[in-house]
Amino acid sequence: LKTEICNHKKKNMSSHENMAILTRGDGIAYGQDYRILEVHKYLNIKLLSARETHFEEINNYQTIIIFDTDDLAIQKIVNGLKCKNIISHFQLNLSYLNEAKRNRSIEVLKKSKVIIVPSMHLKDDLEANISNNIIVIKNGVDLNNFTFSNSQNHPIKFGYVGRFSKSKGLQILQFLWNNLKKKYTLQFDSVNNLFKIATECRILSNFSLVRELHPTPSFDCLIFPSLNEVAPMVVIESLMSGVPVISTNSSPFLKELQAEIGIEYLKLIELPNYLRDMPREQLSLNEIDTLNIAKQFMQYMKNFKPLTLPEKKVLSEKMIQFKYTSQDMANSFSDVYLRYL
């Protein structure tokens, strides 16, 4: 990845030097933004946090690239910039944001010369509110960290990677943790552990932000019970690693992905309609739906058969074929940046 992107970078070095990435005022990167920012380091694009003390330096750059359009500090900086090319990345459903963040995002996106999104359905949603140029570039993962493993787990290991919150399907995870038979291993990897002390068949870890230690390639199957998503990176990482996924249909993107790689690798469970257009802080399942969806997960898990090594390789190659790599993503970003200077 580094070699390929460095070659791309050298070809366009002078143009990239006129660009800066404007990060959150508090300097924190979340989730998918963190991984995409890592890719940009290889493109020689400077990162600057949205602080008033950086305004003069920010104002010296010809093109400003933004990820967190809902950040108040970024909005203030953007409002002060004059005659700049602004390129925004947007990875969220507008309905997922509260009113203040949604309004800030729309304001910043409307000032952007081009908006980059990871899926067609998000492009369609944004076009209802914004008439700017919107381009779809798929999220991609680093093949150095996400490749199929030779390991075979006995018993079968199901894994989850992500935050423990209701919007991420915490109620379902709790049911599975407490009720899945002990003949299966569950590994939950998260930065905020809410579960009881682990046992031999119930493993808790926090490796996902250390890319070379990421647990996903060691799973037999990923479970992903989220209630609202756009183009979840953890699902792409899992499939690239040759690890099938059992997921809720938390995003139209997952249907698109399933059509590309095959239903045998990505099982989808329907979510109730009342979750649509619900802000993140309100996302929650009622007791009946929690039980119903959790039982569907358990049924898929009981019927699951781990892939053989050749089958894992086939799945990984499908993901490469459909351009879900960091290399494809970074080169596409660079091409767009240069085209819209």
Task: Say which residues have a Cβ less than 8 Å from residue 305's Cβ, sequence separation at least 6.
Answer: none
Compute the distance between CA of residue 247 and CA of residue 226 in angstroms, rounded to an integer: 8
pLDDT value at residue 37 = 67
What is the token pair recorded at 177?
């943790």
Beta bridge partners, 246, equal 223, 267
**What does the pLDDT average to over 3-21?**
60
For residue 296, which phi and psi values (nearest 5 degrees)?
-65, -40
**Which one has a higher pLDDT value, 170 or 144?**
170
Q: Report pTM.
A: 0.88
Q: How confident is the model at residue 111 (pLDDT cuts 50, 70, 90)?
A: very high
**Which one has a higher pLDDT value, 153 or 329?**
329
pLDDT value at residue 151 = 72
- The 10s digit of each residue's pLDDT in 44-69 is 788 888 988 889 999 999 899 998 89
- Please state which of the ranges 75-84, 122-131, 225-234 shows the lowest mean pLDDT: 75-84
- The 10s digit of each residue's pLDDT in 225-251 is 999 999 999 999 999 999 999 999 999
The H-assigned helical ranges of the chain are: 2-11, 13-16, 31-41, 55-58, 72-80, 99-110, 120-127, 170-179, 233-240, 252-261, 287-303, 309-321, 326-339
Q: Is the pLDDT of residue 43 over 60?
A: yes
pLDDT value at residue 217 = 93
Q: Is the pLDDT of residue 280 over 90?
A: no
Query: Percent of the chain beyond pLDDT 90?
Result: 55
- The 10s digit of each residue's pLDDT in 320-337 is 999 999 889 988 998 998
Q: How confident is the model at residue 9 (pLDDT cuts 50, 70, 90)?
A: very low
Beta bridge partners, 173, equal none
Helix (H, G, I), strand (E, B) or coil at 16: helix
The position carrying tokens 């709790």 is 174
pLDDT value at residue 13 = 46
pLDDT value at residue 83 = 67
